[in-house]
């Protein structure tokens, strides 16, 4: 019984090219008490592996958070599988705005303590007492209300390349960092302002809205389905788009363009740019914004030091990394001092 990946990312990419079939990138989440996350995880892996599903999914006692891709021809079969699971029947599937057959190259279904790392003690408040969900049309109307404070519940590197007009964009590295900061900044307006929140697909707002209601905020609202569903409704219903720039996504695409606005700049030269890259030096792997000119000049590196390392033979680079820990632990997402024009 196969419960793990047998192919490398490069081998999978080659198979996708060989198949020549379109794939759909999809995300969904659901808060629900899962008694045996490991058993549920194994069930999903086995069923999804049969459908050639790829992607990253977290399962916990509190529910599921999935970002996956599936061959377009298997989409209905996937939906049938999900509908056969009681708490996932008719779940909203957020289909990506821009498609890429290689958005994911492995199937990873992991058991975690939480489906989103929020740092909250869920036993201290009613997580089901959520804010009011708004459609794109209603969101736009509330956004225009002067009595509204709109808050981006995402991290700095996400909101830097795209956000709603007039939104508060906390300068934070993680979702858990933003919760206390937002509460402190808005402590004097808990009763007289509309707290309007949004995130990528809605999952962060689900927990945050309940948390803020617990903290005394009286008028709490959230964008139903996040930026992804907002964009779908804007296109389908001819609604005015109030989102500027790109929507950051956590797969190989890195972002989806929502409007033509470029609201960020290259972290190395300062020119308008909203293209994220990872530093070519694998011991660094820093996520930052780099224009085409700097990418060519710096060989997709964040600094001259990293450029020198990345130019070394692979075995020498590997030896330099020996004993220095996993590069993910120094994944600073644009905070490096080497970047002159970072946010």
> Tokens 């809605």 — which residue?
202
CA distance 47 to 59: 15
- Residues 186/149, Cβ–Cβ less than 8 Å: yes
- Residues 254/158, Cβ–Cβ less than 8 Å: no
Whether residues 38 and 88 share a domain: the answer is yes
Whether residues 197 and 132 share a domain: the answer is yes
With respect to residue 244, please indicate whether it lies within any of the assigned structural domains.
no
Burial class (CB in 10 A: 0-12, 13-18, 19+), 102: middle
Report how many domains make up the chain. Answer: 3
211: domain CATH number?
3.40.250.10
**β pairing state of 276-278 and 255-257:** unpaired
- Predicted local distance difference test score (pLDDT) of residue 334: 67
Q: What is the pTM of this model?
A: 0.89
With respect to residue 100, please indicate whether it lies within any of the assigned structural domains.
yes
Helix 226-237 with 136-143: angle, nearest 10 deg: 100
Write out the catalytic residue numbers.
199
With respect to residue 223, please indicate whether it lies within any of the assigned structural domains.
yes
Two tokens, residue 160: 């830097």
89: domain CATH number?
3.30.70.100
- Predicted local distance difference test score (pLDDT) of residue 331: 47
Whether residues 104 and 40 share a domain: the answer is yes
With respect to residue 128, please indicate whether it lies within any of the assigned structural domains.
yes
What is the 3-class SS of the chain, one letter each residue? CCCCCCCCHHHHHHHHHHHCCCEEEEEEEEECCCCCHHHHHHHHHHHHHHCCCEEEEEEECCEEEEEEEEEHHHHHHHHHHHHCCHHHCCCCCEECCCCCCCCCCCEEEEECCCCCCCCCCHHHCCCCCCCEEECHHHHHHHHCCCCEEEEECCCHHHHCCEEECCCECCCCCCHHHHHHHHHHHCHHHCCCCEEEEECCCCHHHHHHHHHHHHCCCCCEEEECCHHHHHHHHHHHHCCCCCEEEEEECCCCCCEEECCCCCCCECCCCCCECCCEEECCCCCCCCEEECCHHHHHHHCCCCCHHHHHHHCCCHHHHHHHHCCCCCHHHHCCCCCCCCCCCCC
- Predicted local distance difference test score (pLDDT) of residue 329: 44
Burial class (CB in 10 A: 0-12, 13-18, 19+), 190: middle
Average pLDDT by consecutive 10-residue portion of the chain (343 residues)? 72 86 95 96 96 96 96 97 97 92 94 92 87 98 97 96 97 90 92 96 94 95 97 97 97 95 97 96 92 98 95 90 60 77 84
Whether residues 104 and 149 share a domain: the answer is no
Whether residues 127 and 104 share a domain: the answer is no
Whether residues 31 and 54 share a domain: the answer is yes
Residue 24, domain extent: 9-111
Residues forming a β-bridge with 257: 246
Two tokens, residue 88: 């996932």
Whether residues 286 and 335 share a domain: the answer is yes
CA distance 343 to 294: 17
Q: Provide φ and ψ at 28, rounded to 5°.
A: -160, 160
With respect to residue 166, please indicate whether it lies within any of the assigned structural domains.
yes
């Amino acid at each position: 019984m196969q419960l793990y990946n047998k192919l490398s990312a490069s081998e999978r990419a080659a198979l996708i090219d060989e198949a020549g079939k379109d794939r759909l990138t999809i995300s969904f989440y659901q808060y629900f008490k899962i008694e045996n996350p490991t058993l549920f995880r194994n069930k999903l892996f086995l069923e999804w592996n049969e459908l050639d599903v790829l992607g990253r999914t977290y399962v916990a006692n509190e529910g599921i958070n999935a970002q996956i891709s599936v061959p377009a021809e298997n989409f209905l079969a996937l939906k049938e599988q999900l509908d056969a699971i009681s708490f996932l029947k008719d779940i909203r599937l957020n289909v990506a705005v821009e498609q890429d057959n290689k958005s994911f190259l492995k199937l990873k279904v992991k058991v975690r303590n939480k489906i989103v790392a929020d740092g909250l003690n869920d036993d201290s408040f009613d997580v089901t007492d959520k804010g009011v969900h708004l459609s794109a049309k209603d969101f736009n109307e509330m956004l225009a209300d002067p009595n509204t404070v709109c808050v981006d519940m995402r991290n700095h590197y996400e909101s830097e390349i795209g956000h709603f007009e007039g939104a508060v964009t906390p300068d934070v590295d993680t979702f858990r960092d933003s919760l206390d900061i937002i509460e402190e900044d808005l402590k004097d307006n808990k009763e007289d302002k509309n707290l309007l929140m949004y995130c990528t697909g809605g999952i962060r707002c689900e927990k945050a809205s309940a948390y803020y209601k617990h903290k005394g905020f009286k008028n709490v609202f959230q964008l139903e389905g996040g930026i992804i569903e907002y964009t779908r409704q804007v296109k389908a219903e001819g609604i005015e788009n109030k989102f500027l720039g790109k929507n950051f996504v956590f797969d190989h695409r890195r972002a989806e363009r929502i409007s033509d606005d470029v609201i960020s700049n290259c972290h190395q030269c300062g020119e308008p740019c909203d293209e994220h890259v990872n530093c070519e030096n694998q011991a660094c792997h820093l996520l930052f914004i780099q224009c085409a000119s700097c990418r060519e000049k710096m060989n997709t590196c964040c600094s001259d030091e990293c450029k020198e390392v990345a130019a070394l033979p692979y075995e020498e680079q590997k030896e330099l990394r020996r004993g220095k820990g996993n590069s993910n632990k120094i994944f600073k997402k644009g905070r490096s001092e080497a970047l002159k024009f970072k946010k």
